[in-house]
Amino acid sequence: MTVITRFAPSPTGLLHIGNVRTALICYLIARKNGGKFMLRLDDTDTERSKEEYAEIIKENLTWLGLEWDIIARQSERLERYEEVKQKLIADGRMYPCYESAEDLDMKRKVLIGRGLPPIYDRAALDLSDDVKQKLEADGTTPHWRFKLDETSTIQWNDLIKGPTRFEAKNLSDPVLIRANGAPTYMLPSTIDDIDFDISHVVRGEDHVSNTAIQIQIFEAIGGKVPEFAHHSLMKSKGGKISKREGGFDVGAIRDNGIEAMAINSFLARLGTSDPIEPRLNLDEIVDNFDLSRFTKGSAIYDFIELERMNPKILHIFSYTDVKNREEMQDIDEEFFNSVQPNLTHLSEIQEWHQICKDELAPVIDDADFTASASKLLPEGEWDENTWGEWINKVKEATGKKGKELFMPIRKALTARDNGPELKHILPLIGSAKTTARLNGQKA
């Protein structure tokens, strides 16, 4: 059996970090098993689906490295859905209903008021052909429901939740076709899972009862029922996540300087019994991925934890991993290696480049001290040993040590009180600028 998974977003909004988790898990299952990963755009809701959202979803997935092998759009497969609809009607598994939204709402309220579950009463099944014809002649177009086999127990072995069962009599016959003729999510999703040979349907646990219904639809159509896995939903730790943190939209999180591999590393382990660890690329995540490690408990999303992953990722990158990035303009390997241990966001490398290479107004705490230190600067080519040689001389000559020794020099050279190790950045600043800055001159 070829493993084929699918990520099936509806392009009705930006890509939520919780959906990225679903996409990633689907991607990892496919890659782990040498299978295929499909992107399916569930865009049958023509009012809410927008082309720009479809583009953003594709762009975000590409940025994350979650490349799909197959892509399909439901809006291009309407004929196929119509064909299956006709088959299900002919087989007596779909029936027309004429209640308005208000009628249904009223029925629901009455049942809830009596303490009963709001299950559709199948009143439409009792309508005679004459009544139906009259309703249609009067301008009521029907919506269509799937007729569940109410006598059966539906069960499957969920790959995350374990054995799961539903009594069909506790479920409402779902609406598959709206009164305007458009299919709801239920039918196209099942048809596509059959037609694209999806082996594993992996999605959030909010779909568990849909799965029970869809299993009966799979059987009614005559398709093979795939494996199912329902992961717990992601919850945010402190309630709402602020705009500054990028909210839940992955594009905004990226714009806040969070690395794709920080997101992938974090999400691949969120809600599992394994520790969250930085991974250099998706292949490494695939190697260490095991669906059975996902737990039923809710997955807590804490932006601070994701943010903490960012420097860990940046610190394991090699120059080649990042050299073509926009943030790396004018940065050579030596510069990257020197500043890398101090980066929490890659864009900061440009600030350090400016500090080392552009004109800077030094911050002078002790003018006599920094000026006399400048007189001891070594001649000739500077390298990583220059700092050690020089600072020992300064220490001997001035008797200063520790913070008293380093801090005035750091502030004179960089105008900051923290940053990369001075032994790394001294050669990058170079002798002319170092001398001038130690003497309080802009350079």
Distance CA 132, CA 142 (A): 9
Of 11-70, which residues contact ligand GLU (CB under 6 A)?
Answer: 42
Q: Give min distance, CB of 42 to ligand GLU, in A.
A: 4
Q: Which of 10, 264, 374, 434 binds ligand GLU (CB under 6 A)?
A: 10
DSSP secondary structure string, 217-246?
HHHHHTPPP-EEEEEPPEEETTSS--GGGT
Size of the site for ligand GLU (CB under 6 A): 8
Q: Which of 207, 269, 410, 433 binds ligand GLU (CB under 6 A)?
A: 207
Q: Give min distance, CB of 24 to ligand GLU, in A.
A: 14
The DSSP symbol for 33 reads T
The verdict on 232 binding ligand GLU (CB under 6 A) reads no
Taking CB under 6 A as the binding criterion, the range among 7-15, 150-158, 329-337, 404-412 that sits at the site for ligand GLU is 7-15
Query: Which is closer to ligand GLU, CB of 207 or CB of 424?
Result: 207
The verdict on 9 binding ligand GLU (CB under 6 A) reads yes
Bridge partner list, 95 = 145
Buried b (16+ CB within 10 A) or exposed e, 391-409: beebeeebebeeeebeebb
Exposed / middle / buried, residue 79 (Cβ in 10 Å: 0-12, 13-18, 19+) = exposed
The verdict on 8 binding ligand GLU (CB under 6 A) reads yes
The verdict on 203 binding ligand GLU (CB under 6 A) reads yes
The verdict on 176 binding ligand GLU (CB under 6 A) reads no
Phi-psi region of 361 (alpha: psi -120 to 50; beta: other; left: phi over 0): beta
Q: Give min distance, CB of 141 to ligand GLU, in A.
A: 25
Taking CB under 6 A as the binding criterion, the range among 2-10, 116-124, 129-137, 331-339 that sits at the site for ligand GLU is 2-10
- Residue 338's contacts (CB-CB under 8 Å, 6 or more residues apart) are 420, 421, 424, 425, 428
Distance CA 104, CA 46 (A): 24
Q: Give min distance, CB of 291 to ligand GLU, in A.
A: 16
Taking CB under 6 A as the binding criterion, the range among 5-13, 255-263, 333-341, 418-426 that sits at the site for ligand GLU is 5-13
- Residue 389's contacts (CB-CB under 8 Å, 6 or more residues apart) are 378
Q: Give min distance, CB of 336 to ligand GLU, in A.
A: 40
Query: Which is closer to ligand GLU, CB of 207 or CB of 411?
Result: 207
Q: Give min distance, CB of 121 to ligand GLU, in A.
A: 27
Exposed / middle / buried, residue 189 (Cβ in 10 Å: 0-12, 13-18, 19+) = buried
Taking CB under 6 A as the binding criterion, the range among 8-16, 158-166, 270-278, 383-391 that sits at the site for ligand GLU is 8-16
The verdict on 189 binding ligand GLU (CB under 6 A) reads yes
Distance CA 35, CA 154 (A): 28
| Per-residue mark of binding to ligand GLU, 129-168 (x: CB under 6 A) | ----------------------------------------
Query: Which is closer to ligand GLU, CB of 177 or CB of 428?
Result: 177
Query: Which is closer to ligand GLU, CB of 5 or CB of 340?
Result: 5
Q: Is 2 helix (H, G, I), strand (E, B) or coil?
A: coil
Structure tokens at 81: 């859905």
Q: Hey, what amino acid is at 88?
A: L
The DSSP symbol for 191 reads H
Binding stretches for ligand GLU (CB under 6 A) = 8-10, 42, 185, 189, 203, 207
